[in-house]
Each structure stands twice: as C-alpha cells, then as structure tokens.
Structure 1
Amino acid sequence: MSRILFALPGNEVLTASLATILQAQVGETAIRRFPDGESYVRILSDVHQKQVILVCTLHQPDAKLLPLYFLARTARELGAASVCLVAPYLAYMRQDIQFNPGEAVTSRYFADLISGTANSLITIDPHLHRFHHMEELYTIPAMALHVAPPLANWVKSNIEKPLLIGPDEESMQWVKEVATLANASYLILNKTRQGDREVQVTQPEMAGYPDYTPVLVDDIISTARTMIETIQQLKRLSSIPPVCIGVHAVFAEGAYEALLQAGAAQVVTCNTIPHVSNGIKVDELLAEAIQATVSQRKV
C-alpha cells in the first residue's frame, strides 16, 4: 500500500525528512483561517486507497485539533485506506485523575477525540504517570516510541565524563536506561511541586563526582523551574556548568532564556517540537515506526 504524508502547519521540515527516508509522497493541502477564525481545510492530492500519515506535533494543541480533525475526516471521505497520526509530542497527559471536585480528566477526553480522529497513533515518550500503557487511554493502536538510545548516543559523543541527573523518582526508569546505554553514572533527586511554576528539589550528592559534567535529563522542559533550581544547587557543589537535555522542548515563554541565564552550559532537545535547542533527531525512529504500521481496521 502506498503512503502519503501531510504536514500540518509547522511540521513541514520533519514531514519532508520522513518522506525522504520512507521514499513516500508529500501531499498538498490548503489550510487557513477565515476572518472569523474558523478553519478552512482542503486536500489537493489523491489519497484514495492510500495510507495517509498526518504529521502534527501537539504542543499548544487547542489551535491544532480542529484542523487536524477536519483533515483526517476529509481523507476518510476521499477514500483513504487508513489514517495514521504521527504526533511526536502528545498533549493532555497531565490531568489523568480528578485532583479536585469538578475537574475535567482531560487526558481521557483528549484520548477519545484522537481515537475518533485517526486509525492509529505514533508518539514519542508520552508523559505517562498513573496510566502505564497507552492502551489504558486510547482505543486505537497507539505506539509510544522511546528516545533513550538517541539520547545516550548524544551523551557519549559530546560529553567525556557525564553524570546524569534525573529530577524525581518518576524519571528513574528512563534516566537509568539512558545512563546504562551511555555507560554513565546517574543520580535521582526528589522533587516537590508547589505550583505551576514553583518546585523544590533535593541537593545532589556530588561528593563522589568532582570532575564529572552534570547532565540534567527530563522528558519535558516547560517552565524549566526544576532544572533552574537544580542548577542553583549545583553551583555550590561543582565548578563545571551543567548540560540540560530534554526530550520535548515545550518551553513556556522566557523559560529557555531563563535556563541559559541560570548557568546551563548547553540546552539540547529532540526535534519532537521545533525549537532552536533541537540537537537530537528522531526522524529515523519515527520512520521505522511508520514503516511498521499497517492498517488496523477499515476506514
């Protein structure tokens, strides 16, 4: 079955790279907004009996969901054999229970929307916490890829004596995996969140690593408060500026600049979200997953 890839706005570079790796066609669309804010979507390429791949990373998702939904529905109506959503970053994973009475459990609701939009989903290191598998949320085949090997390769290639530092117990499993693959030591801190932008982290035990480069590793860098707080503590314990690595460059406004100003020697992220800090590519990883994807049900 032939494949055709469509880039939602802002995903053109990754889509072109994936198409080159897969030797697949890049489809043409017209996506714009009417003056009243409503979305206009048109597919200009033939999708009949083709495997349609929609590439749309889902940071700042609220403005992206309707064009994505309209594009998927249009592809189905035009006879696509299947529709696969490639969302390197997957939003709405935070609110997985009702913390306070009356709150929306948005991770479930968002999963329902996506499950009704595409036949399958490919994403990278979603922020699973109370849910341990994508199948607990999504009713379509949902593949969660892991970037530990590319992260480890970057560390091995760029840092001579790395000490990987994870921000909290949630990060232990995958920070340990990156450290193992990179033949590096690692530490795991304890974190207490006091609000959307305030955190406290325990002081790293650096006594046994006097000449190591601290490498702060996290899956999502949003406000960067956790890394900034850790950097402040490291300044008292080590003369070597830390390197910060994140999978997803979410970065709230001013967070990237604040992280550099706090003393990070370098900030490196994967290209799951386009950002100036992108230094670790996930193109091959995604292409392999797309290559393995087959239609799971009739559209």
Structure 2
Amino acid sequence: MILSGSASQSLAATLADESNEPLGFVEYESFPDGELLATAPEFEGGRAVVVASTVSSDAHLELLQLQDAAREWGAEEVVTVLPYMGYARQDRAFDRGHPISARAVARAISTGTDRVLTVNPHEEAICDFFDVPAESIDAAGRLAEPLPDDLTDPVFLSPDDGALDIAETVRDTYGDGVIDYFEKKRISGSEVEITPSDTDVTGRDVVVTDDIIATGSTMSEAVSLLQERDVGRVFVTCVHPMLARNARTKLAQAGVEAVFGTDTIERAVSQVSVAPTIADAL
C-alpha cells in the first residue's frame, strides 16, 4: 500500500497507478498547540511504501509518523520514497560547530524504514548517510518529455560542470543537440560569478538543465548572459522545481520561454511525473 505525505499526494496517486499498488487514504490533522498527526488506514501486513517529499519540517514529521503508523499496522516491510529530500544540500559542516544536517535527517528517517529511494539527490553520497540500504534514482531523462519537438540546433547547458550529467541525460533522451556548461565561481555564501561557455548560441534554442531551482538567481543570471548572445528560445528544466519566493518571476524577466519540472516537488511547472521511474525501482 502507498501512503502519501501531504506534499506528495499527486505523485503518490500516479505512482499507485504505475505500480498497481493500492493508494491508502491518509489523513492529516493539526492540533491547537501546533502538533501534527498523519494517520494511515488499516492494512494487513505486506509492504508499505511511504512517499513524501520533505519540503518542510512538517513534511519531515509526517514522514516519520507514517512510517510508525505502518509498523503499528504490522507492515512486513516499509519502503520510504523521498522524491525530494530536504536538507540534502547541507551535506557537510560549513563551519566549526555546524551540523551535517543531511546526515541527521537521514539517520532519523532510517529508524522507521527498511529501505530508502531518493530521486536525484544533490550528491549521490547522501545515500551513505542512511543506516539502511538507500538508492539514488535518476529521473533526469523525464525532463526531455515536455520539450518542444522542433528545437532549433539545440544546446543543452548546465549551470556548472557538476550538473553536466543531467544535461547529457536530457540531451540523450531528447535525441539531438550538444551539451556544454557555464563556469561558476562562488564568491561568497550568497554571491556566484558565472562565465558563459564558448559554445555559439546565436539563433539556437537552448535548454538549461539542473537538479534543483531554488531561488532562481543563478539560473536567471545564466539566461540573461545567453540573451546577450542573441540566443533563440530558452527553456529551463529541473528535476526539483522548488522555485522559492519570486524565482519564477526572475526567470520570466530573464527571457525564459517555459520552465519544466517534475512532480518531486508539486508546482505549477511540474509537467512530467517521476512515478514511472520510481515504480521501476520499487
């Protein structure tokens, strides 16, 4: 049975269809003192698949409660699916006395599950923080699906060389184009300097790819540099469309024609589902 956190209801429903597993009716409550309660329906043994993108502290707590509820009903196996794992980018101590937050939340999640699947974490090494078997699932290929069929001499660009594999995957799935990346140098905790690639983008359609778009600042700056080079159409794709605060507006002002994301984080731009990829891994 599939049990969904409140932030992943659409994805969980799609996953139920893809995997032919029943979808449990989960209820979410909030008490006057602010405490939360996520309750799961009764089921007899078998496997419980908890699907929850941990986009907030509340989502983390719901996940832990659903794991525990599954055990209470006697689940023989609990599989935890993290379409988006919150705190995954805090994968090291940035200063003396800082926690490794990704490790802390991974250990907490491990206490209530037998196995973990997470979609395109910021670093695959995140999986080593769990105390149970954990697997990274690559859903980047799904990002090619919503792209127009008529891209002109396309260029698939990554904001830095660290995410070049995503650009390559999207290009390969699309079936045409070249790949390249921007040189990115971090000046401070909030300031990044971007240097354009040498690829000629004049009159060519460009697809900028990344694992996550959070504030949109780096991505919009990259697109603005492309506009200075008489680029054709610009499309932005990402696995995790966090799009915090005014990120979508920044991208529009930079000249992005369309933004496509998956449903690991359910947003208006979530044009494609990662459910088939998760179903294959289950």
* TM-score range normalised by the length of the shorter chain: over 0.9
Residue in structure 2 matched with residue 297 of structure 1 by the alignment: none
Q: 1:277 aligns with which of 259, 269, 275?
A: 269
CA–CA distance in structure 2, aligned partners of residues 71 and 248 of structure 1: 23
CA–CA distance in structure 2, aligned partners of residues 9 and 289 of structure 1: 22
Residue in structure 1 matched with residue 47 of structure 2 by the alignment: 51
Residue in structure 2 matched with residue 188 of structure 1 by the alignment: 181
Residue in structure 2 matched with residue 87 of structure 1 by the alignment: 82
Q: 1:31 aligns with which of 28, 31, 37?
A: 28
User: Would the aligned equivalents of 1:231 and 1:262 in 2 still touch at CA under 8 Å?
Assistant: yes
Residue in structure 1 matched with residue 204 of structure 2 by the alignment: 212
The TM-score with structure 2 as length reference comes to 0.92
Correspondence 1:199 to 2:199: no
User: Would the aligned equivalents of 1:204 and 1:234 in 2 still touch at CA under 8 Å?
Assistant: no
Gaps of at least 5 residues in structure 1 are 291-299
User: Would the aligned equivalents of 1:168 and 1:188 in 2 still touch at CA under 8 Å?
Assistant: yes
Residue in structure 2 matched with residue 294 of structure 1 by the alignment: none
Correspondence 1:246 to 2:238: yes
Residue pairs, 1:36-185, within 5 angstroms: 36-46=33-43, 48-60=44-56, 62-128=57-123, 132-155=124-147, 157=149, 159-181=151-173, 182-185=175-178
Equivalences, count: 281
1:156: how far off? 7.1
User: What SS does structure 2 have at the residue aligned with 1:274?
Assistant: coil
User: Would the aligned equivalents of 1:134 and 1:143 in 2 still touch at CA under 8 Å?
Assistant: no
1:87-141 Cα distance to aligned partner (Å, 9 max, x none):
111121112222211111111111111111221111211000xxx4354211212
Residue in structure 1 matched with residue 6 of structure 2 by the alignment: 9
CA–CA distance in structure 2, aligned partners of residues 186 and 84 of structure 1: 36
The TM-score with structure 1 as length reference comes to 0.87
- 1:205 partner letter: D
- 1:82 partner letter: E
CA–CA distance in structure 1, aligned partners of residues 14 and 231 of structure 2: 40
1:262: how far off? 1.7
1:158: how far off? 5.5
User: What SS does structure 1 have at the residue aligned with 2:196?
Assistant: coil
1:155: how far off? 4.2
User: Would the aligned equivalents of 2:211 and 2:239 in 1 still touch at CA under 8 Å?
Assistant: yes
RMSD of aligned alpha carbons: 1.9
Correspondence 1:18 to 2:27: no
